[in-house]
Amino acid sequence: MREFVLAIMLITFLTGISFAAGGGDITYKVKYIGDVTFSHDSHVTGRGFTCDDCHPVIFPLPRDKEKKRTMAEMRAKKACGTCHNGKNAFDVGSNCYICHKK
Ligand code: HEC
Ligand code: HEC
Ligand code: HEC
């Protein structure tokens, strides 16, 4: 019994660590207009989203770093545009420089 309780505590502890870290900061290189950094911290800790709000439906894991998404896809409510649609969060059709930083 004691071993069982300790094992559960260990699992909670370990998964707790990986959840707190989430996927960290993800930087997308974008020419001319500037790079975009997605912050797990600000979405998960700051706004209370849970992992399954985004994974795996909107953003499949493991991440495919070669996969590039376009603003046209995002304006069609995919990827960041699922939420950044002017209703749930600021719209991808404007507000360029909230996301893109030189
Ligand atoms: C608001 C949306 C959102 C939420 C909520 C979210 N993620 Fe992510 N996550 C992303 C995005 C965007 C990426 C990058 C995916 C891509 O570009 O294909 C990502 C990538 C990741 C990666 C891959 C990192 C890498 O560099 O390869 C891991 C691991 C991950 N997330 C874990 C988590 C965990 C754990 C949680 C819950 C604590 C979580 N995410 C919550 C949006 C989110
Ligand atoms: C599950 C919904 C959801 C998804 C998916 C999502 N966001 Fe957000 N994001 C939000 C909400 C809600 C806010 C708060 C926005 C507001 O107040 O208008 C926010 C805020 C932000 C901010 C403001 C600064 C900050 O960090 O708090 C940036 C930048 C941002 N998101 C970038 C992104 C990028 C880039 C992606 C795609 C890789 C993305 N988001 C995907 C919901 C989401
Ligand atoms: C919610 C955050 C967000 C907002 C707002 C946003 N973008 Fe983006 N944009 C991104 C992300 C993330 C990528 C990189 C996607 C990738 O590489 O997979 C990107 C990629 C791009 C690209 C390269 C891909 C393509 O479609 O040609 C251009 C150009 C671009 N953005 C222009 C803009 C302009 C112009 C605006 C304002 C009208 C804007 N973006 C608003 C997040 C955003």
Report the CATH number at residue 89.
3.90.10.10
- Would you say residue 12 lies in a domain? no
Q: Is the minimum distance from the CB of 26 to ligand 3 under 6 angstroms?
A: no
Q: Which residue has the tokens 């001319």?
A: 32
Total length of the chain: 102
Closest ligand by atom to 86 CA:
2
Domain, as residue range, for 39? 24-101
Mean pLDDT value of segment 67-85? 98
**Which of left, alpha, beta for 22 (phi over 0: left; psi -120 to 50: alpha)?**
left
- Would you say residue 93 lies in a domain? yes
* Segment 24-74, tens digit of pLDDT: 999 999 999 999 999 999 999 999 999 999 999 999 999 999 999 999 999
Pocket test for ligand 2, best of 38, 41, 42, 43 (most atoms within 8 A of CB): 43
Mean pLDDT value of segment 5-32? 64
Provide the pLDDT for residue 22: 87
- Would you say residue 76 lies in a domain? yes
Q: Please provide the average confidence, as pLDDT, over all residues in the chain.
A: 86
- Would you say residue 37 lies in a domain? yes
